[in-house]
Chains A and B, each alone.
Chain A
Amino acid sequence: MWIVIVAILIVAIIGISTYAVLSARVPTKVGIELWYNNDGHYGDTETALALTLQNSIQSCGRVTVSLKSDPWAVYKQNWANQRMPMFLLGWYPDYFDSDDYASPFLSIAGAKSLGSFYNNSQVDQWITEEQSTTDPNIRTDRFTKIQNALADDVPYIPLFSGVAQTAYVNSVQNVELHPVVFKWFIVDKPGATVLNVSTSDKVISLDPASAYDFFSGEIINQVFDTLVVYDWKNATLKPGLAQDIPTRANGLVSADGMNYTYHLKAGVTFHDFPLNTPLTAQIVANSINRAIRLDLPGSAAFLLYDVGALGRDATNGNNSSPGAIEVVNSSTITFHLARPVSFFNDLMAFSVSAPVPDSYNQAGEQPSTAGSVIGTGPYKMTTHTPNQLIVLDRAFGTKASNTYYNKDLYSPTLGPIPIMDRIVINIRASAAALKQDIETKAVDVVFRTLSPPDLVDLQNRASSLGITVKLGSSPQIRYLVFNVNKVPNKLVRQAIAFSVDRSAISQIVFLGTASPLYSMIPAEMPYSTAVFQSKYGDARCADANNLLAQVPATIELIALARDR
């Protein structure tokens, strides 16, 4: 009898205890890894950025963030291999259209390649629609919907946009922080013929078919020309090798937006002296087909065959789709796209579209050595000591008798380009070296990138040093990526969006030199809506914790187990 009573009591105690434990609302923590690059791909501030983010997320009390890092070569593979649940990335646009801040992240293919694996067919449809039209009303509607979906699903959290910066001695003029590409050929130092500059960037490749990094693109844009080019101050397109910018109004874009025609300017030659190969429509077609055919690792060829809808067809020798590029005559070329691409002109302004002579290596990458880099641009590269020195010299004529075909591109605002006879670019191994260079006036201009403390210090001492420190908005954005397969619970992603503190990032990491970002489309671009500001704001811990309280315990435990 007693045994039965004791057994009943034991069972009752166990049952009551279990109920008490299960029903108690003891807040459990969600554990998540935050990954960042540790070898300076995004500068020296990355560790501080990761620590600040970790602190702002953890300070809300219900999420534990463990930091992990890898060098860039491994980091790049980690997101493709789905190793990282939450990680830091940055983006520099390829073409100056709001689409370049939407489709690479939110289209199904783009999201896969950038590691979020976000998959929303409705968003994909909206992206296709905004890409296919120039109608501002339709584009406004689609971009609004896309950004609302972004804020609701949170595959990314926009953090901040960078600040473009340069410092130069006061005698230098026309140093413009262009939103797309820096133009050395407009910089002037009155009374001098040589401009000495330094940078901490490095050349990866000077073959337009291969280059897909900022500095390589910067050099390519001094040595090569494209069919259309950018204005010297903003992203307005101007005729480059082409006589006109194709539009529907001038009849060079078909009514369905699928055919673009360019008439080449006369008398354009490559600086492959003494051959002086003339530029023809056939060479333009060959160059674009070469980039598509080679599809070199890490190159921007996909901007032509995929984003630009020119196709890549094995039956056509891996060139563009049959009939996609039509050489009408020696000075006219027409592109027939597989679908309308409203920003095709912008793609033709990107370095991957720069014509190269037929003498370029057709089976692989052209060497980036002096003499092998041949374009039609205002400068030719006469010296290239890798990671040490690049020398650009005037390619056509002299300052007095300038024979560059596009010398009056920016006249009358600016004089004939290029302005300086020679640009000597010293490549430094660290940001600290740039500060020393400009402090000692060992160079005339430093561009880029100064560290935030050095930048602030130079700003404070600019007048005593006799230098100008110029800041401008940068099209680069920085953001957090969630691999939605690894962090599938939207509530967890939204809670982290609530807890991020952008002002802490700006003040602590960048000493106030970064601007908060509340959409993947920066505020300077058309169609941008600050969706994360209205929906999540900054450091709203109470809202974050309310969301996390709704996360089922089983999901939290799964997240914890997986992250451990």
Chain B
Amino acid sequence: MARGSSLLAYALTRAILALPMLFILLTAVFVVLRILPGDPILALWGGRTPPPDAVERARVQLGLDQPPIVQYFTYLRNIFTGNLGISIGEQYRGTPVWSQIATRFPATVELAIGGMLVASLVGIPLGVVAGANRDRWVDLGVRLYGTVIWVIPIFWLGLILQLVFGVWLRWLPANGRWTGVDTPCAPPSTCRFQTGMYTVDSLIEGNLGHFATAVSHLLLPSLTLGLVLSGFFAKTVRANMLRTIGADFTEAARARGVPRRAIIYRHAFKNALVPVVTVLGLQFAILFAGAVLTEKTFSYQGLGILLLESITSKDMTMIQGVVVFYAAIIVLISLAIDILGASIDPRIRL
């Protein structure tokens, strides 16, 4: 009971601490968007002179005629009531920001999960092997890999993978999220519910052909995003492995005659993973940022491309909505990771 209460108190404290962070972020987004050059209303008319009353009408409609402080509180009220506004950019003009985010978010989630899977499947084993073989050639190789892959520009790696697997070998599609028109769960096929993630929807639909298509389109973007992150994972796991391999409890196990393999994988590795889980959560922010470039490189229509398009068309409400949404997601993930970390390692709560 006491243990449970302590975790709850910790979770509540973290949640309360997350609020000022979110508040500062919302304020920063509001201020930055208003000091950027260019008028979002005039941008719609291009170089042409708009009709005399049209600009004023549009300003009133969007509340831009109000003093900044009034605009700020209206903005906060709208955000906290879930109203992200209506797009004013030339591409999505008139459509609710929320509906565009809802359409694009599943693609980015799919990509982020794929990237995280690749990063974990490649980075963690490499880190363990390197940590267990300190200063041997395999360790040097992993360290070199970790450094090189981490500093490679993500779009460059994407282009190379496209060239090799998409163009030369033609094993995987080089662009897009889907080939053809019949996306998973699209009529005439029926699904009990639809997530917008093609891999999941094709499984709900029970169509393995669709699943293979969805995975084939997801592989290269996920590899790009995941490989870059795997370098960081490998180095983090290696560092933690070195720490746990040298710890008292592994020394004790060794003294008791526990085989080296069991010491490494059963004792050292498990304990090395705890800080990795915390780091993993923080990497989601990097993952989302990387997703912007990956989506652009692979014409993968997710939230990242939506953000890029909104910035270029000076779609203030859309930029605001997407950034706030990203921020909220990252804050939530950080919170979840904090709580997960605390439940795994009670010392964190102390």
What is the chain B residue whose CB lies nearest that of A387?
Answer: B301
Report the Cα distance A388→B180, complex, angstroms.
11
Per-residue CB proximity of A533-554 to B under 8 Å, as 1/0? Answer: 0000000000000000000000
B181/A365 in contact, CB under 8 A: no
B249 within 8 A of A: no
A114 within 8 A of B: yes
A436/B162 in contact, CB under 8 A: yes
| Residue in A295, A367, A383, A386 whose CB lies within 8 Å of B91 | A386
A297 partner residues in chain B, CB cutoff 8 A:
44-45, 50, 54, 58
Given contacts A39-B312, A436-B167, contact A73 B43 (CB under 8 A): yes
Shortest CB–CB separation between residue B291 and chain A, in angstroms? Answer: 13
B47/A70 in contact, CB under 8 A: no
Q: Find the residue from A73, A386, A389, A427 having the highest chain B CB count within 10 A.
A: A73
Q: Find the residue from A76, A79, A203, A205 having the highest chain B CB count within 10 A.
A: A76
Given contacts A71-B312, A388-B301, A440-B170, contact A80 B296 (CB under 8 A): no
Q: Which of A424-465 contact B (CB under 8 A)?
A: 424, 426-430, 432-433, 436-437, 439-440, 442
B271 within 8 A of A: no
What is the chain B residue whose CB lies nearest that of A196?
Answer: B180
Q: Which of B294-311 contact A (CB under 8 A)?
A: 295-301, 305, 309, 311
Per-residue CB proximity of B156-180 to A under 8 Å, as 1/0? Answer: 0001001000110010011111111
B5 within 8 A of A: no
A391 within 8 A of B: yes
| Residue in A113, A429, A436 whose CB lies within 8 Å of B166 | A436
A204 within 8 A of B: yes
Shortest CB–CB separation between residue A348 and chain B, in angstroms? Answer: 22
Shortest CB–CB separation between residue B253 and chain A, in angstroms? Answer: 53
Q: Find the residue from A77, A297, A383, A386 having the highest chain B CB count within 10 A.
A: A297
A155 within 8 A of B: no
A391 partner residues in chain B, CB cutoff 8 A:
181
B309/A77 in contact, CB under 8 A: no
B188 within 8 A of A: no
What is the chain B residue whose CB lies nearest that of A40?
Answer: B312
Shortest CB–CB separation between residue B48 and chain A, in angstroms? Answer: 5
Report the Cα distance A439→B309, complex, angstroms.
27
Given contacts A429-B295, A429-B296, A440-B166, contact A389 B181 (CB under 8 A): yes
B176/A72 in contact, CB under 8 A: no
A39 partner residues in chain B, CB cutoff 8 A:
312
A247 within 8 A of B: no
What is the chain B residue whose CB lies nearest that of A302?
Answer: B48
B181/A383 in contact, CB under 8 A: yes
B90 within 8 A of A: yes
| Residue in B90, B91, B174 whose CB lies within 8 Å of A440 | B174
Given contacts A115-B47, A429-B305, contact A436 B175 (CB under 8 A): yes
A432 partner residues in chain B, CB cutoff 8 A:
159, 162
Report the Cα distance A79→B54, complex, angstroms.
20
B166 partner residues in chain A, CB cutoff 8 A:
436, 440
Given contacts A74-B38, A383-B181, contact A298 B45 (CB under 8 A): yes
A79/B314 in contact, CB under 8 A: no
Q: Find the residue from B37, B47, B103, B173 having the highest chain A CB count within 10 A.
A: B47
B312/A388 in contact, CB under 8 A: no
Q: Which of B86-139 contact A (CB under 8 A)?
A: 90-95, 103
Report the Cα distance A439→B170, complex, angstroms.
10
Per-residue CB proximity of B42-60 to A under 8 Å, as 1/0? Answer: 1111111111001000100
Per-residue CB proximity of A204-230 to B under 8 Å, as 1/0? Answer: 110000000000000000000000000
Shortest CB–CB separation between residue B55 and chain A, in angstroms? Answer: 9
B177/A388 in contact, CB under 8 A: yes
Shortest CB–CB separation between residue B131 and chain A, in angstroms? Answer: 39
A112/B49 in contact, CB under 8 A: yes
Report the Cα distance A202→B301, complex, angstroms.
12
Shortest CB–CB separation between residue A436 and chain B, in angstroms? Answer: 4
A179 within 8 A of B: no
B65 partner residues in chain A, CB cutoff 8 A:
none
Report the Cα distance A112→B45, complex, angstroms.
14
Shortest CB–CB separation between residue A449 and chain B, in angstroms? Answer: 14
B39 within 8 A of A: yes
B195 within 8 A of A: no
Report the Cα distance A113→B45, complex, angstroms.
10
B297/A430 in contact, CB under 8 A: yes
A71/B311 in contact, CB under 8 A: yes
A40 partner residues in chain B, CB cutoff 8 A:
312
A428/B299 in contact, CB under 8 A: yes
| Residue in A77, A79, A198 whose CB lies within 8 Å of B38 | A77
B297/A74 in contact, CB under 8 A: no
B49/A442 in contact, CB under 8 A: no
B343 within 8 A of A: no
B42/A442 in contact, CB under 8 A: no
B313 within 8 A of A: yes
A77/B39 in contact, CB under 8 A: yes
A385 within 8 A of B: yes
A61 within 8 A of B: no
Report the Cα distance A365→B91, complex, angstroms.
12
A364 within 8 A of B: yes
What is the chain A residue whose CB lies nearest that of B312?
Answer: A39
Report the Cα distance A437→B46, complex, angstroms.
33
> What 6 additional pairs, Cβ within 8 angstroms, besides A388-B177, A426-B175?
A74-B43, A77-B39, A79-B47, A203-B91, A365-B94, A387-B305
A-B contact pairs, 28 of them (CB 8 A): A70-B38, A71-B314, A72-B312, A73-B40, A74-B43, A76-B47, A77-B38, A77-B39, A79-B47, A80-B42, A113-B49, A205-B90, A295-B54, A298-B45, A386-B103, A387-B301, A387-B309, A388-B176, A426-B176, A428-B176, A429-B301, A429-B305, A436-B167, A436-B174, A436-B175, A439-B167, A440-B174, A442-B179
6 closest residue pairs by CB, A with B: A73-B314, A74-B38, A297-B44, A429-B299, A428-B299, A436-B174
Q: Show the binding face of B for A, using Cβ within 8 Å.
A: 37-40, 42-51, 54, 58, 90-95, 103, 159, 162, 166-167, 170, 173-181, 295-301, 305, 309, 311-314
